[in-house]
Amino acid sequence: MLEKAYQTISFDSKKCNGCNKCVEACAIVKSNSSDLVHSRIQILKDDQTGEYKTILCRQCADPQCVKTCPAKALSKNEETGVVEWDSTKCVGCLLCTLACPYAGISFNIKTNEVMKCDLCGGDPECVKACEPRALKFRNEATLYNKYGELEDLYVSGLSACLGCNAELLIRHTLRYLGPETVVATPPGCIGGVGGVGVNGKTGTKVPSFFPLLTNIASMLAGARRYYNRIGRDVTMLALAGDGGTVDVGFQSLSGAAERNEQMIYICIDNEGYMNTGVQRSGSTPYGSWTTTTPVGTVLRGKSSDAKPLPMIMIMHNCQYVATATMAYLDDYYRKLEKAYQASKKGMAYLHIFSPCQTGWRFPPNTLIEVERKAVETNMFPLWEYSHEKRSLRFTYPVDNPLPVYEYLKLVGKYKHLDEAQINHIQETTNNNIELLHKYIREDGVQSDQARTGDRELVSNY
């Protein structure tokens, strides 16, 4: 039984320059010759993307080669995690090469035997030979810490509520975007917790300021135009609530989008004006309790559907529009990267589903589950729209969405809903998904699909 994280070789293709020194090093240590055919690692260039790929045994947790070998020549070492090949038992049937989907074990035409990476007993030569440090030898558990290694550009000690999603969002966002960023934080929770500054000290290591709730996008547009004029490429970032985006700041956002101003505009949608006491906004969904859409004998929460702002932003010809939520962090980072690239050309808009445990009434430790259920019921579908491709793509398609009740029951602001209201919400949800499908162009370039493996994978191998 596998109980711990193993040491592994990681490969960052962005750092690889194709020098092949890793390949040479492996060949030398494994065969005492510089004939590259003996190398257990291969570096190949994908002509379509220009990226380098590494062909190497993945030391799988569930190795198919081990399951297939009829001679028990392959086994998974539970101490080191290495899939070991015993040449004294190998009969040369090559069934392992038929089992491995990655060419991790392959036939060596000079030795007439199979060969595979064995991590050089714990000190891999390829890693040592890699000058640009594309190859690293590290613990598997740290692979997912890549975000943690980036510098947090917000100060510690922000006074956000216990379990605040927005704090999670803003820290990750600024970690990724880095110091060449200007942040516009309108009145709202983020400013309220000290995100811009407090007591005369700044809350960030980058310039950040309070625009008005009504002119976030136009202020950023102006700042960017000035930086452009003096020849500096600085990212403009808006961290705005739904109130400032969907309601009172909409006109300036709409104008900035139409003018294709260069910025990343992130709408942190907690479905209401939370900082000022949980009032409804145009983004508050039907049926929600808020202080301005109370629940009594006549009124049963908000009586109108939310304004579907992400869809509206598609119609604004933005360079890039996407929806995201923290429960799908890898998805968010990918979209943040695209937004960053798009912001060099014009408007990039990200709409983040950001549940507020204080305003919505749910236990803070269920935040991620609330987000997950919102996605799995299709109440908050994850998609992206690129102006270049003129097409929408679901980045996390949900084949069998759960009934909306599975989400609604987790959130206190919906606890008064009756059956008719829940049906209404289900209908609106279904309708929204259908509408989103209309933005998918059949002939749209879906090249990402094959590369990220949307196609169903066979897992029993």
Residue from 102, 144, 147, 226 touching other proteins (CB under 8 A): that is: 102
Using rule CB under 8 A, residue 400 touches other proteins: no
CA dihedral 171, 176, 180, 181 (to 10 degrees): -50
Using rule CB under 8 A, residue 110 touches other proteins: no
Structure token pair of residue 109 = 């035409």
Smallest separation, CB 393 to other proteins (Å):
16
Residues in contact with other proteins, counted by CB under 8 A, come to a total of 43
Burial class (CB in 10 A: 0-12, 13-18, 19+), 350: buried
Using rule CB under 8 A, residue 233 touches other proteins: no
DSSP state, 102?
T
Nearer to other proteins, 13 or 260 (CB): 13
Nearer to other proteins, 99 or 240 (CB): 99
Using rule CB under 8 A, residue 72 touches other proteins: yes
Using rule CB under 8 A, residue 93 touches other proteins: yes
Smallest separation, CB 53 to other proteins (Å):
4
Using rule CB under 8 A, residue 32 touches other proteins: no
Inter-residue contact 23 to 55 (CB < 8 Å): no
Q: Is 280 left (phi over 0), alpha (psi -120 to 50) or beta?
A: beta
Residues near 447 by beta carbon (within 8 Å), at least 6 away in sequence = none
Nearer to other proteins, 92 or 178 (CB): 92
- What residue type is assigned to position 280 of the chain? R
Q: How many CB atoms lie within 10 A of CB 413?
A: 26
Nearer to other proteins, 92 or 403 (CB): 92
Smallest separation, CB 98 to other proteins (Å):
4
- Calculate the alpha carbon distances from 181 to 72, 173, 233, 260, 265 in Å: 56, 11, 9, 19, 12
Using rule CB under 8 A, residue 54 touches other proteins: yes
Which span sits near other proteins by CB under 8 A: 27-35, 45-53, 193-201, 415-423?
45-53
Residues near 209 by beta carbon (within 8 Å), at least 6 away in sequence = 182, 183, 184, 185, 196, 219
Instruction: Tell me phi and psi for residue 48, to 5 degrees.
Output: -70, -35
Smallest separation, CB 109 to other proteins (Å):
7
Nearer to other proteins, 102 or 147 (CB): 102
Using rule CB under 8 A, residue 10 touches other proteins: no
Using rule CB under 8 A, residue 230 touches other proteins: no
Q: How many CB atoms lie within 10 A of CB 374?
A: 23
- Calculate the alpha carbon distances from 117 to 25, 28, 126, 129, 439 in Å: 13, 13, 10, 15, 46
Nearer to other proteins, 58 or 136 (CB): 58
Residue from 6, 12, 19, 107 touching other proteins (CB under 8 A): that is: 107
Residue from 32, 156, 400, 460 touching other proteins (CB under 8 A): that is: 460
Which span sits near other proteins by CB under 8 A: 159-167, 242-250, 344-352, 445-453?
445-453
CA distance 288 to 64: 50
Using rule CB under 8 A, residue 50 touches other proteins: no
Nearer to other proteins, 49 or 139 (CB): 49
Residue from 14, 109, 151, 399 touching other proteins (CB under 8 A): that is: 109
Smallest separation, CB 150 to other proteins (Å):
22
Using rule CB under 8 A, residue 46 touches other proteins: yes
Widest distance between CA atoms in the chain: 85
Sign (positive or negative) of CA dihedral 382, 241, 369, 147: positive
CA distance 117 to 254: 55
Smallest separation, CB 42 to other proteins (Å):
7
Q: Residues in the site for other proteins, rule: CB under 8 A?
A: 42, 44-46, 53-55, 58, 64, 67-68, 70-72, 88-89, 91-95, 97-103, 106-107, 109, 112, 450-453, 455-461
